[in-house]
Amino acid sequence: MITVSKPHRLSQRPAEERDLLTVATFVRSANELFYCYPKASWPLTPAQIADAISNRRDSTVVLLNNEVVGFANFYQWKTGVYCALGNVMVSPNTRGQGVARYLVQVMEERARTHQQARRMRLSCFNGNTAGLLLYSQLGYDPYAIVEREAPDGQRVALIQMDKAL
């Protein structure tokens, strides 16, 4: 297991085609895939990630000692107004060690600098406890709850959150 003991060991860069196979391994179940990429079908493939990248902005990877351990992008943006964070994925070997926190903060900075965004939006399903706790700790506040249907047909709540940048 990889241990993130010093935050300065983390770095980031734009996602590249060579990263896609690694990123596809971050999702361990259909349920996890639903949380991070609801439109994708299980199992996640590099082609599905490539499709997301082609329709989104600022696809970014986080590296730990030059190994890809995180991925995210913006699925909506309005220059000068907001960016919506999506496809947040972290390697199972580094979860709970600050990678997701670093990734969200990197994406906040990209929203400010690349899109001149004043706000960051994101959506998190009610069953994604780790995500909800992280986003709350980072200052995101809920502003709406939307009903969605999980792959198994169950009703779920999509909690929409945002934060001033």
CATH of the domain at 44: 3.40.630.30
pLDDT at 5: 47
Does 113 fall in a domain?
yes
Which residue type, as a one-letter code, is found at position 152?
D
Asked if residue 99 belongs to a domain, the reply is yes
Establish if 72 belongs to a structural domain.
yes
Residue 44 covered by a domain: yes
User: Taking residues 124-142, what's their average pLDDT?
Assistant: 97
The answer to whether residue 47 sits within a structural domain is yes
How many structural domains comprise the chain?
1
42-93 pLDDT, tens digit each: 999 999 999 999 999 999 999 999 999 999 999 999 999 999 999 999 999 9
Tell me whether residue 131 is in a domain.
no
The angle at the Cα of 89, spanning 29 to 27, to the nearest 5 degrees, equals 20
Instruction: Return the amino acid letter for 103.
Output: L
Q: Kindly state whether residue 129 falls inside one of the protein's structural domains.
A: no
Domain around 36: 7-117
pLDDT of 82 reads 98
Q: Residue 104 falls within a domain, yes or no?
A: yes
